[in-house]
Amino acid sequence: MNELKTYSFSARLIHWIMAIMILSMLFLGVSMIQSLSIWQSAALSIHKSFGVLILVLVGVRLINRILFKTPSLPSDLPKFQAVAGHLTHILLYIAMLLMPISGWFMQSSAGLEVSFFGLFSLPNFITQDIKLYSIFRELHGIVAWMFFGLILLHISAALYHKLIRHDGVFDSMGFGGKK
Cβ neighbours of 33 (radius 10 Å): 12
Q: Are strands 115-116 and 120-121 parallel, antiparallel or unpaired?
A: antiparallel
pLDDT digit string, tens, across residues 85-103:
999 999 999 999 999 999 9
Class of the 9-173 domain? mainly alpha
Domain boundaries, the chain: 9-173
Residues 6+ apart with CB under 8 A from 117: 49
Beta strands in the chain (DSSP E): 115-116, 120-121
Q: What is the pTM of this model?
A: 0.92
pLDDT digit string, tens, across residues 107-123:
999 999 999 999 999 99
Q: For residues 139 and 103, what is the distance between their CA atoms, to the nearest angstrom?
A: 9
